[in-house]
Amino acid sequence: PLHSTEKHGNIIFAVHWPWCGIPDVLSMNVVEPYEPVQHHWFYNQQVDSKDSWQPFSREDSRRLEDAYSRVGKCEKDEVVVATDGRRYDVRLRERKCYSVYWEQKPAEVKRCAWFHKGSKDMSYTPYSEELSDILEDAYMIAVTLDEWKQNLELPTGETVILHNPKVFSECKDFPPSPTERTQPRTLKRGIENIPVEIPEVDHLVFMVHGIGPACDIRLRGIVQCVNEFRIASNSLIKSHFRQSENLCIIGRVEYLPVNWHKVLHGESTGVDKDIERITLPSISRLRQFSNDTVLDLFFYNSAMYCQTMVDTVASEINRLHSLFLQRHPHFTGHVSLVGHSLGSLILFDLLTNQETDADGKPHEVCSSAIILHEDAHVDTGCSSYESLEEVLKGHGLEEYLSVLHSEQVDMESLMLCSEKDLKDVGIPLGPRKKIMNCVKKWKHSRTGSGHAAQNETHSPSLGMRNAHEHQTPTTSAVDYQHFDVGIGQVSIDYPQLAFHPQALFAMGSPIGMFLTVRGLKRIDPNYSFPTCKSFYNIFHPFDPVAYRIEPMILPQDVDLLPMLIPHHKGRKRMHLELKEGLTRVSSDLLGSLRMVWQSISQVPSPALAEGGISSMTPTDEVEVPPMEQKERNFTKVGMLNRGRRIDFVLQETPIESFNEYLFAIQSHLCYWGSEDTALLVLREIYGNIPKKRHLH
Q: Give the contacts of 123 (CB within 8 A, at least 6 positions apart).
A: 52, 53, 117
Give catalytic status of residue 341 as yes or no: yes
Report d(CA 182, CA 176) in Å as an integer: 7
Which entry of 341, 344, 534, 674 is annotated as an active-site residue? 341
* Residue 383 burial by Cβ neighbours in a 10 Å radius (0-12, 13-18, 19+): exposed
Phi then psi dihedrals of residue 431, to 5 deg:
-60, -30
Q: Give the contacts of 109 (CB within 8 A, at least 6 positions apart).
A: 41, 42, 43, 44, 90, 92, 95, 96, 97
CB contact at 8 A, 152 and 160: yes
Q: Which residues lie across from 646 on neighbouring strands?
A: none
C-alpha angle with apex 689: 336 to 628, nearest 5 degrees?
Answer: 90
Report d(CA 661, CA 257) in Å as an integer: 30
What amino acid is encoded at 85 in this protein?
G
Count CA within 13 A, CB hemisphere, residue 390.
Answer: 7
Report d(CA 555, CA 282) in Å as an integer: 49
CB contact at 8 A, 215 and 209: yes
Count CA within 13 A, CB hemisphere, residue 347.
Answer: 34
What's the length of the chain?
696
Report d(CA 651, CA 615) in Å as an integer: 35
List the catalytic residues.
341
